[in-house]
Structure 1
Amino acid sequence: MNDLVTKKVSLIELFYDLVFVYMISQATGLIHHLHNGVIGLSTFSIFALVVILFINSWMIQTVFINRYGNDSWSNKLFIFINMTVVLYMSNSFSSTFNHQLTPFFGAAALLSLTQTMQYVIVYLKTTQNADKQITLAFSGILATRTLALTIGAAVQNQLGLLAALLGIMISWIAPSFTGKLTVRRPIIFSHLLERVTALIIIMFGEMIVGIAEYFTQRTVSPYSLLLFVLVALLFMTYATEFSDLIEEKQGRETGNRLIYLHYFILFGLSLITVAIKFIHSTNANLIFSVGCLYTGLLLFYVGILLGGIYNEVSFKIGSGRVCWIIGFTLLGWGGTLQLKNATEIIFITVVVALLNLLILARIGQNSTFRQKIQ
């Protein structure tokens, strides 16, 4: 049975993740800069564009390895090439839509080309009709992105920029329409789950780096401890859903839902990371900072709740719990809008995160109790 098939995450995959640690740090750095107390629309748009392109590339590589990856030297060579390209890309974007994005688009086109080649090689080698159709579809998606990004790098005007943006969005959205093909060659769910979990761990690592400045001899305070507790509670919330409640033995899964719901979590954690600094900064608009924090929390919890579709039958998240989690988050947002003190704002946010964690944790406890009395 396919749902019993497993695949071990290889060391080369973990090595590949290291360049994305740096990428996430660089991308998040874009939205650390404020203009008149807020993040500029152009800056945030570029941040979203960069994150979507990087994470989409990471996801495509991960799904390729999940289905077709092996320990061959050719696969390792492609990964090493992609790592060098990602490192260059991480240092080649700016906070404005101008010609400075040309090197970024050019490098992204090269990354797209190498990923296209990986799928083309499998297409030429495989004798399975399902695999031929899947690899042909992804080759087409990636080839389209390669062409669009090449135009974006070569044509340094609004037309080139539009072509690049269109290519990025197509490659991000198009895989969601491949379900009828990919279900014929389901992903190994446990492997994909472990990989996306590793990506989220990287995001939490970025949060830890972000709060580290509050743990020096000069800055350590109750505020510092509250920040750490908040990060820990969010991590435990993620772990409760994607480690304790989820059913790893999924059959006939394309992985699309698991992948796309994690974009909510990724963007949510990114916003929370920068909001933590904004709230304590005199240069930031406090209402904007609180809005950034709670928008991030809502995105995070939406991703968590969407993940409930994969839970074991006895661990399903009911509509009542969904309402409580969203309700507590909105209530916390409303309550903090009246506050001016950063410590008080984070304290209320910690309470919200704790209550929401308890709601999720109770699902597993109630199920275990019911099983014992039956």
Structure 2
Amino acid sequence: MKPKKVELTELFYDLVFVFAISKATSLIHHVEDGASFLGHFGMFAVVMIVFLNTWLIQTVYTNRYGKNSIRDIVFFMVDMALLLFMSNTFAGQLGAWFGPFVLATGLLSVTLFLQYFWVYLTAKASADKQITQSFMLILGIRSVALLLSSLLKIEWGVFLALFGILASWLLPLRFTKVMHAHPINFPHLLERLTLITIITFGETLINIAPYFTQQTFGVPSLLIFGSVCMLFMTYITQFDHYIDEERENETGVLLIYLHYLILFGLSLVTVSLSFIGEAHFDKQVAVNCLYIGLALFYAGILLAARYNRKNLQLTFGVVTLFTLVTLGGFCLSSLNPDLLLIALIAFGVTALNSTNYIRYLIKRS
């Protein structure tokens, strides 16, 4: 399949997600103690699903039907304005920002619905009509649920909003068979997903920057930076070298959902690397957060093996080593959760996993 060009408009659209992901991460980045972390993480998870689901629905639309026309560009810019507003609503308690956030998300869902509705009206192929109908249903549910929830008291509105958000996140799985009738352009989708992941890595680098001041710089700083570099090396090894970019007749559904794991994992790693340097924060909670993040990240990487080249299919030994090294790192870090020890073990875990993955690539190439 001939790769579809990633337009500059799409890259411009991505810029707003740098800000959106940063603001979403702030929901847990400034938690003052481990006891309140779980509640804040729940809010963060839902907000991240909203942002990522929005980005992915738009990306899949552009992949199949986008022409970089004036109409497409106008929709991009309207969506960007709504996303900027949504990103700036997170101030104070949930009750203070819930209404404005879900109202803006509902309006954003309507703009996405209108894009698919236009294709439905103009499409001639029955496959395209089926696909657009499916996405119109998904976005219709999300739009109605969120717009109605913005009018209700938060005690009721939050449940309706959650229903709409989770429905739009999970319903695409129901329509995988329909999507086979008009496969995605795999190289384009892969490039778009790697770009949003690199944006998330950028957020990680911004959040570890406080370790690189005259007052804080030391061995832990280098180990933390090295851990991020090793995660990046693992990611590019999989998606630059292992993966078969020329795949055809793909829906891309698994590729999309495994990136939820990777992006959620990276976000958890990001905040945990900040927490381990804060004296008031429970170090064991920080360790738990770090290794849950690493587990999600590596799970996404290993699931991507479904798209690997034939000579680079993973063996049971490779998967087992990833699992044992990560689990061992968690156990060792839990024995004495000290900043230097946590940073040293995290670097060891990420370096061993990355080296193992690169070595296997060289061996099989």
1:261-302 CA-partner distances (Å, limit 9, x unpaired): 011111111111111111111111111111111111111100
How far has the Cα of 1:42 moved from its partner? 2.4
Matched, 1:318 2:327: no
Report if the CA contact (8 A) 1:42-1:95 is conserved.
Answer: no
Matched, 1:102 2:99: yes
Match of 2:257 in 1: 260
Provide the C-alpha distance between the structure 2 equivalents of 1:166 and 1:340, rounded to a whole number of angstroms.
Answer: 38
- Which letter does structure 2 place at the counterpart of 1:138? F
Matched, 1:6 2:3: yes
Match of 1:115 among 112, 115, 127: 112
How far has the Cα of 1:99 moved from its partner? 5.0
Match of 2:143 in 1: 146
Task: Give secondary structure in 1 for the equivalent of 2:150.
Answer: helix
How far has the Cα of 1:338 moved from its partner? 1.2
Provide the C-alpha distance between the structure 1 equivalents of 2:95 and 2:202, rounded to a whole number of angstroms.
Answer: 31
Match of 2:207 in 1: 210
Provide the C-alpha distance between the structure 1 equivalents of 2:355 and 2:222, rounded to a whole number of angstroms.
Answer: 20
Report if the CA contact (8 A) 2:82-2:108 is conserved.
Answer: yes
Provide the C-alpha distance between the structure 1 equivalents of 2:34 and 2:174, rounded to a whole number of angstroms.
Answer: 40
Unaligned runs of 5+ in 1: 369-374
Matched, 1:225 2:222: yes
How far has the Cα of 1:345 moved from its partner? 1.2
Match of 2:45 among 35, 48, 59: 48
Matched, 1:341 2:338: yes
Task: Give secondary structure in 1 for the equivalent of 2:33.
Answer: coil
Match of 1:363 in 2: 360
Residue correspondence of structure 1 range 275-286 to structure 2 within 5 A: 275-286=272-283
In the comparison of the two structures, how many residue pairs are matched? 365
> How does the TM-score come out when normalised to structure 2?
0.98
Provide the C-alpha distance between the structure 1 equivalents of 2:250 and 2:4, rounded to a whole number of angstroms.
Answer: 15
Provide the C-alpha distance between the structure 1 equivalents of 2:63 and 2:332, rounded to a whole number of angstroms.
Answer: 45
Report if the CA contact (8 A) 1:325-1:356 is conserved.
Answer: yes
From the superposition, tell whether residues 164 and 89 of structure 1 become closer, same or farther in structure 2 (CA, over 3 Å): same
Task: Give secondary structure in 2 for the equivalent of 1:42.
Answer: helix
Match of 1:80 in 2: 77
Match of 1:274 among 249, 262, 271: 271
- Which letter does structure 2 place at the counterpart of 1:192? L
Report if the CA contact (8 A) 2:284-2:337 is conserved.
Answer: no
1:82-116 CA-partner distances (Å, limit 9, x unpaired): 00000000011357442530000000000000000
1:132-161 CA-partner distances (Å, limit 9, x unpaired): 000011011101100000111011232222
Match of 1:199 in 2: 196
Alignment root-mean-square deviation, CA:
1.2
- Which letter does structure 1 place at the counterpart of 2:336? L
Provide the C-alpha distance between the structure 1 equivalents of 2:216 and 2:341, rounded to a whole number of angstroms.
Answer: 17
From the superposition, tell whether residues 95 and 188 of structure 1 become closer, same or farther in structure 2 (CA, over 3 Å): farther
Provide the C-alpha distance between the structure 2 equivalents of 1:283 and 1:339, rounded to a whole number of angstroms.
Answer: 16
Provide the C-alpha distance between the structure 2 equivalents of 1:64 and 1:320, rounded to a whole number of angstroms.
Answer: 39
Matched, 1:352 2:349: yes
1:291-330 CA-partner distances (Å, limit 9, x unpaired): 1111111111000000111000111111221111011000
Task: Give secondary structure in 1 for the equivalent of 2:228.
Answer: helix
How far has the Cα of 1:365 moved from its partner? 1.0
Provide the C-alpha distance between the structure 2 equivalents of 1:61 and 1:269, rounded to a whole number of angstroms.
Answer: 22
Provide the C-alpha distance between the structure 2 equivalents of 1:130 and 1:14, rounded to a whole number of angstroms.
Answer: 29
How far has the Cα of 1:39 moved from its partner? 4.2
Provide the C-alpha distance between the structure 1 equivalents of 2:108 and 2:14, rounded to a whole number of angstroms.
Answer: 15
Unaligned runs of 5+ in 2: none
How far has the Cα of 1:35 moved from its partner? 4.4
Residue correspondence of structure 1 range 20-59 to structure 2 within 5 A: 20-59=17-56
- Which letter does structure 2 place at the counterpart of 1:177? R
Provide the C-alpha distance between the structure 1 equivalents of 2:217 and 2:37, rounded to a whole number of angstroms.
Answer: 31
- Which letter does structure 2 place at the counterpart of 1:71? N
Match of 2:153 in 1: 156
> How does the TM-score come out when normalised to structure 1?
0.95
Report if the CA contact (8 A) 1:42-1:97 is conserved.
Answer: no
Report if the CA contact (8 A) 1:12-1:76 is conserved.
Answer: yes
Report if the CA contact (8 A) 2:32-2:280 is conserved.
Answer: no
Task: Give secondary structure in 2 for the equivalent of 1:337.
Answer: helix
Matched, 1:173 2:197: no
1:8-55 CA-partner distances (Å, limit 9, x unpaired): 111000000000000010000110122433443321111011000110
Provide the C-alpha distance between the structure 2 equivalents of 1:154 and 1:99, rounded to a whole number of angstroms.
Answer: 14
Provide the C-alpha distance between the structure 2 equivalents of 1:176 and 1:225, rounded to a whole number of angstroms.
Answer: 41
Task: Give secondary structure in 2 for the equivalent of 1:172.
Answer: helix
Match of 1:71 among 68, 71, 88: 68
Report if the CA contact (8 A) 1:38-1:284 is conserved.
Answer: no
Report if the CA contact (8 A) 2:273-2:290 is conserved.
Answer: yes
Provide the C-alpha distance between the structure 2 equivalents of 1:278 and 1:347, rounded to a whole number of angstroms.
Answer: 15
From the superposition, tell whether residues 95 and 170 of structure 1 become closer, same or farther in structure 2 (CA, over 3 Å): farther
